[in-house]
């Protein structure tokens, strides 16, 4: 009686392992080409006026300190003017 139980248990474990392997394989094979919702839509704070702007919608300015995103050209110009003033 116990032997049957052990065999059944062994079968069950083997089945689970095989299923797990198959699932893993299927998951890696069925990789989507690109995510549906693009993740590059990051919200960044405009350092001039404090508004949060989507990175791709805003005006990106590369500075030595890093990338800044502005909601409008006006903000960018104001900010850069302010930076220059503080430098000189």
* Binding residues vs Zn ion (CB under 5 A): 46, 48-49, 51, 71, 75
Q: Least distance (Å) from Zn ion to the CB of residue 36?
A: 30
Q: Which two tokens stand for residue 54?
A: 């989507």
Shorter beta-carbon distance to Zn ion: residue 33 or 65:
65
Check: CB of residue 71 under 8 Å from CB of residue 61: no
Shorter beta-carbon distance to Zn ion: residue 49 or 80:
49
The rounded distance, in Å, linking the Cα atoms of 35 and 32 is 7
The rounded distance, in Å, linking the Cα atoms of 50 and 35 is 30
Shorter beta-carbon distance to Zn ion: residue 46 or 68:
46
């Amino acid at each position: 009686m116990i032997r049957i139980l052990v065999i059944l248990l062994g079968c069950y474990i083997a089945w689970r392992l095989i299923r797990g392997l198959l699932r893993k394989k299927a998951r890696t094979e069925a990789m989507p080409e690109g995510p549906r919702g693009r993740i590059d839509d990051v919200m960044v704070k405009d350092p001039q006026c404090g508004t949060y702007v989507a990175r791709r919608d805003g005006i990106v300015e590369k500075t030595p300190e890093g990338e800044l995103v502005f909601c409008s050209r006006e903000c960018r110009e104001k900010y850069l003017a302010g930076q220059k003033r503080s430098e000189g």
